[in-house]
Each structure stands twice: as C-alpha cells, then as structure tokens.
Amino acid sequence: MISAIDAAEKGWIPDSIIRYGIRRLLIKRLVKEQSKENNYENIVEAMSEGPLALETNLANDQHYEVPSSFFEIMLGEALKYSCASFEGGEKDIDSAEQSMLEKTIKRAGITEGMNILELGCGWGSLTLAMAKKFPSSQIMAVSNSNAQREFIEKRARDHRISNITVLTCDMNNFTIEEKFDRIVSIEMFEHMRNYALLFERISSWLSGQGRLFFHIFCHKNTPYFFQDESKEDWMAKHFFSGGVMPAFDLPTKFENHLSVISQWQVNGCNYARTLRAWLERVDTNKNAVITALSAGSNPTNPTIQFQRWRLFLMACEELFAYNSGEEWFVGHYLCEKSSDCLRA
C-alpha cells in the first residue's frame, strides 16, 4: 500500500489536505520535544562537543549543489535564500529581500572601510549588497558549495564589483589568520552542531572590537535536532540532514568566547510570506523548474523533485505561520568578544 508521503510526492493529494496534515505534525512535534525530560540541557550538552557540523556533504547536495537556474526561478532578484522582511509594508519578494538586507547591515553596524567575513554566503545576496554599499570595504565570503562560488563570482564580474573574495570550504575545516571587524552569517548556524567550538573559532577571527552578527530561524523556547529516524522525518531526510532548530535564547548558553549584546525577534509571518512567494514562483514556472532540476546531479525523477520542493515550501510556510508567527520565527543577534577573551 502506498504511504501518504509517497502519494504527496506524486502530487496525488490536494494542497489543502497536505497543509492540514503539516499542521497536525507540527503539534505532534511540539508535544514530542516538550515532553522530553531535560531536553534543553541535553541539547546544550550535545552542542558543546563533537564536530562543528554533521552531514555537510549531504546538506550540500540537498540545497546548495542544486542548479543555480532553479534558485533564479524561485527566489527574488537578489537571490536571498533566507527570510525576507515585510515589516515595512513591502508588497513583493524583491522589495522584501532588500528590506531584510538593509536591516541586516544596519543591525550588524557595518560601515565603510570594514574588513568583513560572511560565513555561509548562499548565492551572495548579502555579500554583494555589502560590496556595493561599501566599496572601500573588503568582503570575504565562505560557502560549502562550488556552484555558489562560481555564481557569486560571475555576478560580481557582471556588476564590476572587485572588493570580494569567495572561498569554497567545509566549515569543519575552515580556518584563517586574518582578523575581521565584522563577521556575519545568515541561516548557517542551523547547520552547525557544536556551538561552543563555533563561537570559539569565530572569536579568534574577530579583531579586538570586532562583532559577530547572525540570523537564524528558531523556536521560541524549545530546541531540537532534525534526525532521520522514521518515515515522519521527511524533512531531515530530504532537506535538513544534520540540522538543528535552535531556541531563541540558545546562543546565550554558549558565551565563553562571545557575548550576546543585542537580540531581535522577527515575526515568523515574514518567513511564511517569503515561502509563499517562492511557492507561487515555482508553481507559475513549473515546466522551467522541472527542466532546471533535471540538469542537476540528483538521480530522482525531476517531477518528484519538483513536488518535494513544493512540499518543503508548504511545510516551512505552515511552520512559520503557526501561532501567528510567534511559535517559530527568526532571531537576530549581535555579539562581541567576551571580557575574558579581550583580556587574553
């Protein structure tokens, strides 16, 4: 007998029924995670040991080695593969992307002439925005994906931008002697597992008065891991292997090397609207999307890939829209070196 998930992947189930099932699974997830004894303490302990990140090659295949032509169809003009901001009344994804990029630059306190490192630069939306806005700054961008590096370098050439350097490197292996005035990271920390080690390394890359700004999606109070243990762990299997859903205050549990000095909550409805915009673009351009996916290295039938991406976008939209965007949302954090590190 075919399972509900298999039927959904074949496009046999109406979206309204799929969305209802997703909302039921969200409730089940909350009950499961919040019923675990000492869950938060166990998560913090697990994220204080072991490798910096898990399943990096698999995560790369799931998202970042997908053909760039697919993301050029799905995303907005800046190719920002993360939450956009509709808080200022923005009407479309292009303006919402720009709004969040501007908010990020402002909250990070970036100014002309800074030496900047972006970790997990995606398709280059923030790196290119900073390079254009601050031509006297030098920006180094790090991605786990060779395809992303090539894409960013081409965009930089097309726009005659010369103040960026893009590196392809697994974060487990990345190291650098250079010091930076700002380190920024957008939706990469969710792919990291050992926050204690991550913050220690980032602290060593900051200049004395340097600061870290990062943007993560999170749950309001319950962290959990994405683990592929059953049929219900579809997200972990196909899109988020080795990932973590942080709690909003999780970064404050790892302050030996970096201290959080400011944090902001961005209502999850902003992400829900972002995801709905992506889904609409995917649906409007179905044939082009399937053609783009067929050019990738994934051996799965491109029509199944298309439907899996639709399911992914619907699942994430429902998650961030849950409880009016107050259950799962986006956190922004500004950190400085801890006092002990400054004295060292």
What is the reported pLDDT for 301?
Answer: 92
Strands 328-337 and 258-266: antiparallel
Q: Which domains does the chain have, with CATH numbers?
A: 4-343 (3.40.50.150)
Cβ neighbors of 203 (< 8 A, separation 6 or more) are 257, 258, 337, 338, 341
pTM: 0.94
Q: How far apart are CA 184 and CA 202, in angstroms?
A: 10
Helix (H) or strand (E) holding 143: strand 138-143
pLDDT of 59 higher than 60: no
pLDDT tens per residue across span 194-243: 999 999 999 999 999 999 999 999 999 999 998 766 666 788 777 887 89
pLDDT of 105 higher than 70: yes
pLDDT of 60 higher than 60: no
Average pLDDT over residues 163-169: 97
Tokens coding 286: 């179905």
What is the reported pLDDT for 344?
Answer: 54
Report the candidate in 142, 341, 143 with the shortest Cα–Cα distance to residue 254: 341
Sheet of 138-143: strands edge to edge?
A: 164-168, 138-143, 115-119, 180-186, 206-219, 328-337, 258-266
What is the reported pLDDT for 297?
Answer: 82
Average pLDDT over residues 275-296: 97
The mean pLDDT value of the chain amounts to 93
What is the reported pLDDT for 265?
Answer: 98
Give the range among 106-115, 125-134, 298-307 with minimum mean pLDDT: 298-307
Cβ neighbors of 118 (< 8 A, separation 6 or more) are 126, 127, 130, 139, 140, 141, 142, 183, 184, 185, 186
Average pLDDT over residues 256-284: 98
pLDDT tens per residue across span 297-339: 888 899 999 999 999 999 999 999 999 999 999 999 999 998 7
pLDDT of 61 higher than 70: no
Give the range among 77-86, 131-140, 143-152 with minimum mean pLDDT: 143-152
One-letter amino acid identity for 147? A
| Residue % of the chain over a pLDDT of 90 | 81
Q: Which residues of 246-285 are buried (b: 16+ CB within 10 A; e: fewer)?
A: bbbebbebbeebbbbeeeeebbbbbbbbbbbbbbebbeee
Higher pLDDT, 2 or 95: 95
Report the candidate in 34, 69, 48, 64 with the shortest Cα–Cα distance to residue 199: 48
Q: How far apart are CA 327 and CA 206, in angstroms?
A: 33
- 164, 152 in Cβ contact below 8 A? yes
Q: How far apart are CA 319 and CA 282, in angstroms?
A: 19
Output the CA–CA distances (angstroms, integers) from residue 131 to 18, 79, 145, 338, in the order listed. 42, 15, 20, 29
Per-residue DSSP letter, 84: -
Identify the sign of the CA torsion 292, 293, 298, 299. negative
Distance in angstroms between the alpha carbons of the first and the last residue of the chain = 63
Average pLDDT over residues 19-39: 93
Average pLDDT over residues 27-34: 93
Average pLDDT over residues 35-45: 92
Cross-strand partners of 116: 139, 182
Q: How far apart are CA 279 and CA 311, in angstroms?
A: 9
Strands 224-225 and 244-245: antiparallel
